[in-house]
Amino acid sequence: MPSKLYGISFFSGAMGLDLGLKNAGFDIKVCIEIDKVCQNTIRENIPNLKNSNINILGDITIIQSKDILSVSEIPKGELTLVAGGPPCQAFSTAGKRGSVNDPRGILVKKYLEHINNMKPRFFVFENVRGILSASLKHRPLDQRGTNHPPLTKKEQLGSFLKLVIIPEFKKIGYEVLYGLIDVADYGVPQNRQRVIFIGSRDKEFQKLGYTTIQDIIPPTHSKDGINGLKKWNTLGNAIKDIQDDNSEYQRYSENRADVFKKVPEGANWRYLRDNYGDAYLRKIMGGAYSSEGGKVGFWRRLSFNKPSPTLTTSPLQKSTALCHPVHNRPLTVKEYARIQEFPDWWKFSGSVSQKYRQIGNAVPVGMGTAIGLGIMRVIKGEQ
């Protein structure tokens, strides 16, 4: 095994993935992040790291791969890992979906270009589950159906993965395993589904008999704790010891707080319907009352006894409310950070809303550690 495992991080954000990889033994030499607030977060925390010589670079569409390698000072041929998660909103299953032609979708192709140019031994590509069904070309819903022409290959669900991502992997010569995982299966106190792609330049997966992403990063937890696995970690384990109710958080309006006072731990809008009637529910839900699906998060109070739902970039969104299990307020910034497994000493720059955004967008630190340890097992040749 090499004496040093050098890495370069793209789309570094608040460094959740970086911290996890560092825990697993990787030396991240360059963080590439265009967002100024995230850059400040990186700078603010680097003095606390053992390796304080991390460089920060910006726009990946402008920076040349050779310049990234030059700044990294990684010896030629010794780049072990490139890791990153291109902005995922273009492929999100929530809201208006874009496609590869969305500016954020173009960043995916640029990321793969840098991987091709730098030829690391391994790469990690993390994204939302929507990337599995994203189309190469988007057709609005009101232009589909029996009265419209059939979808073209580029417009079909999954065409981006089938026509762009997989061919690009083949083109750059990497063996790639990928799949949908839930971070709760790796001890993270949160249900958060993500797609993980891990590529091997030297075809090391097939040599070891690995055929799925779970072979590289085998789950350590399960919902029921069967087959020798631990039970899912809970929200209570992550935040119950936090007593400071006056730490940073965004406030509910008085009217909204009054509604949440009626909702017990672990319940949501259904409790209000069953106990206060349809007329009351219609009043507090507005147009969402008539929606067919996607209502689970409305007027939801979290439970200490379960993992947290996926952290969004704001705990105030009506459709994905993240009300504290016992207090009539959203989760605080500190609680957000605990759920994403950032150490308590980690500092986040910017306003309260910017801190929520950085934490919500991050890869949970424990997930990054699991990915790093999985790659480490491949390096050691463990079957």
* Catalytic residue, candidates 31, 38, 88, 323: 88
Q: Give the integer Cα–Cα distance in Å for 357 and 336.
A: 10
156 burial via Cβ count (<10 Å: 0-12, 13-18, 19+): middle
User: Which pair of structure tokens corresponds to residue 3?
Assistant: 């004496």
Residue 202: half-sphere exposure toward Cβ, Cα within 13 Å: 13
Structure tokens at 73: 């000072």
* 337: enclosing H helix or E strand: helix 333-339
Q: What is the CA radius of gyration of the chain?
A: 22
- Give CA 309 to chain center in angstroms: 13
Going 150 to 153 to 155 to 156, the CA torsion angle's sign is positive
> Which residues, listed in sequence order, are joined to residue 31 by a DSSP beta bridge?
9, 56
Eight-state DSSP code of residue 162: I
CA pair distance 278, 292, nearest whole angstrom: 16
Q: Helices marked H in 25-102 — which ranges?
A: 36-45, 65-72
Q: With contact defined as beta carbons under 8 Å apart, do 116 and 172 qualify?
A: yes
Using CA atoms, how far apart are residues 293 and 153, in angstroms rounded to an integer? 28
Enumerate helices (H) and strands (E) in the chain, giving the number of each: 15, 9
Tokens, residue 198: 């891990």
31 a catalytic residue: no
Residues involved in catalysis: 88
